[in-house]
């Protein structure tokens, strides 16, 4: 086993206060593409960049176009949790992991068995009316046709944080608390470029900060341990 992975394993073995902070890289290994990736085919299908379509103002003005993108790009059927999701759920079950703080909206951590999951950007597995707030099963939104409407006439929307919208205050407050109290903070599958979410790791006060990411991040120099590997490969050895 790699020396760095051994070191991370020791930190986890010796602690009962581990927190995991993760991003898109955790889900890409389950076959979920990063919605921000734009290839040559993208421009033949869509007139606007993903960040524009996934904004509050675009959703309000062009809900039909939003839902076309949502169903094609955000809803990926048949995906299953990978080694990282499963290991994190196991660590929580045996009393080592306190919480998962995720930027992902796919619900794979819960599918793997994790209970304390703080979803900074919400989840596509929930939806509600944008007018009256009534909750709806996500199936109509994710697999229906056209724009779904509430009985009150309002447009049903996904329970995700769109661009131009603030993060949920309760979720952020709890994320700050668990990160600031953590003994070991593992950051995985994120470039740490998406704010304000990435800024949360500045609340960590410990000396066991591990970064597991394929590429460099702006926080590499501040980390106590940096592992440039696929997250599934690392977690399958812990």
Show which residues are catalytic: 121
CB 19 within 8 A of CB 236: no
CB atoms within 10 A of CB 40: 6
CB 183 within 8 A of CB 165: no
Q: Where are the beta strands (DSSP E) in the chain?
A: 18-22, 97-102, 117-119, 122-129, 135-137, 156-160, 184-188, 209-212, 225-227
Tokens of 121: 């950007």
Q: Is the dihedral of CA 111, 195, 229, 187 positive or negative?
A: negative
Terminus-to-terminus CA distance in the chain, angstroms?
10
DSSP code per residue over 98-117: EEEEE---S-HHHHHT---E
């Amino acid at each position: 086993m790699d020396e760095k992975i051994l070191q991370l394993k020791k930190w986890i073995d010796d602690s009962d206060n581990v927190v995991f902070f993760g991003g898109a890289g955790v889900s890409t290994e389950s076959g979920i593409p990063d919605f921000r990736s734009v290839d040559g085919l993208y421009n033949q299908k869509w007139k606007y960049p993903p960040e524009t379509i996934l904004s509050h103002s675009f959703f309000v003005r062009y809900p039909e176009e939003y839902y076309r993108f949502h169903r094609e790009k955000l809803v990926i059927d048949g995906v299953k949790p990978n080694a990282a999701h499963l290991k994190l759920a196991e660590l929580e079950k045996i009393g080592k992991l306190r919480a998962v703080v995720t930027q992902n909206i796919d619900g794979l951590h819960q599918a793997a068995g994790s209970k304390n999951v703080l979803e900074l950007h919400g989840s596509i597995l929930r939806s509600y009316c944008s007018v009256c707030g009534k909750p709806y099963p996500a199936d109509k939104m994710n697999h229906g046709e056209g724009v779904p409407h509430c009985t009150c006439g309002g447009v049903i929307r996904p329970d995700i944080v769109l661009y131009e919208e603030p993060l949920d205050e309760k979720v952020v407050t709890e994320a700050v608390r668990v990160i600031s109290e953590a003994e070991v903070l593992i950051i995985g599958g994120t470039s740490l470029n998406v704010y304000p979410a990435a800024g949360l790791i500045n609340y960590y006060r410990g000396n066991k900060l591990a970064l597991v990411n394929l590429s460099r991040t702006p926080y590499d120099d501040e980390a106590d341990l940096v592992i440039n590997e696929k997250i599934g490969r690392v977690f399958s050895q812990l």
